[in-house]
Structure 1
Amino acid sequence: MSYQPIIPFSGYAGWSFLNRTMEKQQAAFNASSEIQRNEDYFREKIGSIETAEDLVNDRRLLSVALGAFGLDEDINNKFFIRKVLEEGSLDSESLANKLSDKRYLKLTQAFGFGDYGIPRTVLSDFPDEIVQKYERRQFEVAVGETDNSLRIALSVQRDLPELAAKDSSEKTKWYTIIGSPAMSEMMQTALGLPKSIGALDVDAQVRIYAEKADRLYGSTDPAQFAEPDTLKQLTRDYFLRSQLTTGTTITAGNAALSLLQGAQQNRLSLLL
């Protein structure tokens, strides 16, 4: 079995605890027998994989490949994944480029089956590249088994600053946020937007997201979330508002208590 992350609190207090103990917990998770077996198999076999068909026909390899990009639930969608991989990323009309969820684009870019005559699987550093992504993503999955809001926050800490720093338009960045399950969930909750916003035209959604972000954080541009302090404020708002949406009663007093508990845990050390 894999190491199960220790999450003694929910909400922002749990997030603070997880951040303080992240390095030790991630190391223990990486060293677990299940993760090590999967990684050893991937390192041994991936260099011999030359086509998307080869990859999807090896379930163990495919599980690591998909797991590295948070696409674990697609393990049985072999035809779909093969099509994504074979069409690649260079053609603007390829399936990966048309999908709003850009995890598929990152997957096909990483493997290169549809983009190059020789796939990236033969590169000497390719196994390390994918294994590092796999370890981080699978740790997030394990955290999510205890508290899915923490998994979402971990995912956003990785993806949102990267997106925010890109040299692309505000609208393009909002499109990407809306198309990302984790980023859209955090942003909707932190901004206090209803789930029903997803039924609106995407350009209408962008206007609403941008206006609300401007009121709360001072700018319509997602580039602001490249700043650690703004990202921290967004994350805190997400946890405090998520307690409301999950039915937890929050008053000014117990919201403050939640933050106080997080501060108190700074004096604790985790024994692993």
Structure 2
Amino acid sequence: MAFAPLLPIGGVAGWSLLQRIEEQQRQTFAKSPEITRATTHFEVAINTAVTAEDLVNDRRLLQVALGAFGLEDELDKRAFIQKVLESDPLDSKSFANRLVDPRYGEMANAFGYGSVLGPRVADVGFAGEITSAYKERQFEVAVGDADSDLRLALNARRELAKHAATAEASGRDGSAWFEALGDRPLRSVIEKAYGLPTAFGQIDLDQQRDTLRTKTRELFGDESIAVFSDPENVETMIRRFLARSAAEQGASGYVRGQGAITLLQAGAAGFASLVQSRFG
């Protein structure tokens, strides 16, 4: 990707700098030729993709569709993505909803190919909704090219708020915690922010959730993931993550952010068997 954000430093200082220049950097990124070409094509042509097969057969459309949900690495898995898109978003047993990574279900729901109401591709505002999400996610990819820990931080800022909103809306805090545990990039941020050992992921899933609740209560006074509806609490988590990550990298001699990008590319795949054993 041609765009390169101005990030001369990493860690907490780099995060502070990124926040100060983020809006201007996002605007510059959105105007870059590569992004402009991709989003313009999507906005012009998406209403012609009346079936999921139409969408997956147009590589340029599919690139934006997947990128809007952080699934750009799935671009060559057309048959798999078509099956995801054709899933009924309201059926908890549909293909997309049975996958551990919630982004697939979110994409199926957004496009609506498997919905009784039909696809949303011609709805007013739909194309803008998807291209806006695409720009946001792809900006994070560009940041990750400079510092993958900062990409994880941007991802955590969005996803913590999303899981908090889900918990508040549904009243199902336990489920929201399990979804966060299944989100591998977010999970890595939470674990490091809370100073949890590598072996934490090997214990019983209920114990993992209870541990996170305990740590959250100790730090924020409440065990619910809904505490992250407060941006200050999200900021605290991110800064703890970045500080601990920088300390570990300094001690080991790693390049800052090295290896974190793998988590974002892999998604929740490595966590699938554990979550599926919990939910059947």
TM range (shorter): 0.7 to 0.9
The offset of 1:117, in angstroms, is 4.3
Q: Structure 1: which amino acid aligns with 2:89?
A: S
Counterpart residue number, 1:136: 136
Work out which of the residue numbers 205, 210, 213 in structure 1 matches 2:213. 210
Report whether the alignment pairs 1:2 with 2:5. no
**Partners of 1:86 and 1:110 in 2: how far apart?**
12
**Partners of 1:246 and 1:94 in 2: how far apart?**
42
Counterpart residue number, 2:239: 236
Counterpart residue number, 1:194: 197
Counterpart residue number, 1:151: 151
Identity of aligned residues (%): 41
Counterpart residue number, 1:174: 177
What SS does structure 1 have at the residue aligned with 2:8? coil
The offset of 1:87, in angstroms, is 1.1
Whether the aligned pair in 2 keeps the contact of 1:191 and 1:216 (CA below 8 Å) is no
What are the residue-to-residue correspondences of 1:8-47 with 2, within 5 Å? 8-47=8-47
Matched length: 249
**Partners of 2:137 and 2:26 in 1: how far apart?**
11
Where structure 2 has 5 or more consecutive residues not aligned to the other structure, the ranges are: 253-280
Counterpart residue number, 2:94: 94
The offset of 1:195, in angstroms, is 2.9
What SS does structure 2 have at the residue aligned with 1:246? helix
**Partners of 2:73 and 2:202 in 1: how far apart?**
24
Whether the aligned pair in 2 keeps the contact of 1:2 and 1:35 (CA below 8 Å) is no
What does the per-residue CA deviation read over 1:84-133, in whole Å, with 9 as the maximum and x for residues that have no partner?
A: 11113111101222222111111111100011343000112111000100
Where structure 1 has 5 or more consecutive residues not aligned to the other structure, the ranges are: 250-272
Counterpart residue number, 2:188: 185
Whether the aligned pair in 1 keeps the contact of 2:83 and 2:95 (CA below 8 Å) is yes
Report whether the alignment pairs 1:246 with 2:249. yes
What SS does structure 2 have at the residue aligned with 1:70? coil
**Partners of 1:151 and 1:239 in 2: how far apart?**
11
Report whether the alignment pairs 1:220 with 2:223. yes
TM-score, normalised by the number of residues in structure 1: 0.87
The offset of 1:194, in angstroms, is 2.2
Q: CA RMSD in A?
A: 1.5
Q: Structure 1: which amino acid aligns with 2:222?
A: S
**Partners of 2:83 and 2:249 in 1: how far apart?**
38
**Partners of 1:158 and 1:220 in 2: how far apart?**
20
Computing the radius of gyration from Cα coordinates, the structure with the larger value is 1
**Partners of 2:157 and 2:105 in 1: how far apart?**
19
**Partners of 2:83 and 2:174 in 1: how far apart?**
28
Q: Structure 2: which amino acid aligns with 1:223?
A: A
TM-score, normalised by the number of residues in structure 2: 0.85
